[in-house]
Amino acid sequence: MHSSKKLKAYFLRLLTHKKTTTFDIKNARNILFFRYDRIGDMVITTPVFRELKREYPEINISVLASNTNQNVLHNNPYVDKVYINYKNNLFRDLPTLLKLRNKKYDVCVEFDHSVIPHSIARLRIIKPKKIISVVKEGRYGVKGSELELYDYFTEKSKDAHFQDIWLNTLSPFGVTPKSKQYDLFCTDQQKKKAIDFLLQFQNKIIIGINLEGAVKDKRITPDKLKIICTGLYQANKDVQIVLLSSPKTYEDIIRLSKNILL
């Protein structure tokens, strides 16, 4: 086991070694953000794009998103281009990654606070001039400070919200955020659909419950959901509970709601 860890540490150092490039990050004009994970993470990250664009209006912002969270950026005026990444399928992503390499990005921003091999592999392929990330503790006995691939590590306070941690990745640009507000840009058609739905319950107290979570153990189970709904209705008969779901889980949520009513 000890020799295996030493071997992994060797390859981690090797993979993250790079030559220093002289470049003033405040002169960057082409930035790529890594955010190919969950919907909630993308929502919380949206202030980063706006605050950077506010300070540097001419900067070009691209985001490497996931198939799951890309829709959060629809109609976002602060993001110039969105690319899709499949995280666990490097070969499928290779054509996109090579395309990104040809764009010669000035800076890549990677939000992971852990050492993530798939992120490192993609950064090596894209080969930006500078890389910003949240401070990392390291892995396999390799300290975060030994990861030469990263040019800037931004602070991560122990009790800080992830929104603040990710906004702090703008500090190398000299950006002080003026707002932490999230950005979601719906079309007029989407707004009308939402308003028409809510008008059905205009005399009700509407409570939305999200059943999906990033960590399986923290998701609301059917048994707990029934307890929550029963308690809410007992507390106030004018409550209207709306169960939130993604398109792929919609049918399951419908069946679940029917079982709760029984």
Distant-in-sequence, close-in-space partners of 186: CB < 8 Å, separation ≥ 6: 75, 194
- Terminal alpha carbon distance of the chain: 53
pLDDT at 214: 62
Distant-in-sequence, close-in-space partners of 82: CB < 8 Å, separation ≥ 6: 62, 63, 65, 70, 73
Residue 121 lies in a domain: yes
What does the alpha-carbon distance between residue 186 and residue 126 come to, in Å, rounded to a whole number?
A: 32
Question: 215 with 164, same domain?
Answer: no
The Cβ-side half-sphere exposure at 110, using a 13 Å CA radius, reads: 26
Question: 29 with 78, same domain?
Answer: yes
Question: 14 with 132, same domain?
Answer: yes
Question: 166 with 86, same domain?
Answer: yes
Question: 88 with 139, same domain?
Answer: yes
Question: 69 with 151, same domain?
Answer: yes
Task: Please report where in the chains the tokens 């852990």 appear, as a residue.
Answer: 114
The Cα-based distances of 126 to 37, 42, 101, 145, 153 in angstroms read 18, 21, 4, 22, 19
Question: 50 with 122, same domain?
Answer: yes
Are 66 and 85 a contacting pair, CB within 8 Å?
yes
pLDDT at 1: 47
Are 110 and 119 a contacting pair, CB within 8 Å?
yes
What does the alpha-carbon distance between residue 231 and residue 247 come to, in Å, rounded to a whole number?
A: 27
Residue 181 lies in a domain: no
Are 132 and 150 a contacting pair, CB within 8 Å?
yes
Per-residue pLDDT 10s for the chain (262 aa) are 467 878 888 888 888 888 888 899 999 999 999 999 988 899 999 999 999 999 999 999 999 999 989 999 999 999 999 999 998 888 999 999 999 999 999 999 999 988 988 999 999 999 999 999 999 888 888 888 888 899 999 988 888 899 999 999 999 999 999 999 999 998 889 899 999 999 999 889 999 998 876 666 677 888 888 899 989 989 998 999 999 877 778 888 888 888 776 5
What does the alpha-carbon distance between residue 121 and residue 36 come to, in Å, rounded to a whole number?
A: 14
Residue 180 lies in a domain: no
Question: 69 with 129, same domain?
Answer: yes
Count of the separate structural domains present in the chain:
2
208: phi then psi, degrees, rounded to nearest 5: -95, 140
Domain extent, residue 221, equals: 189-261
pLDDT at 20: 83
Question: 255 with 127, same domain?
Answer: no
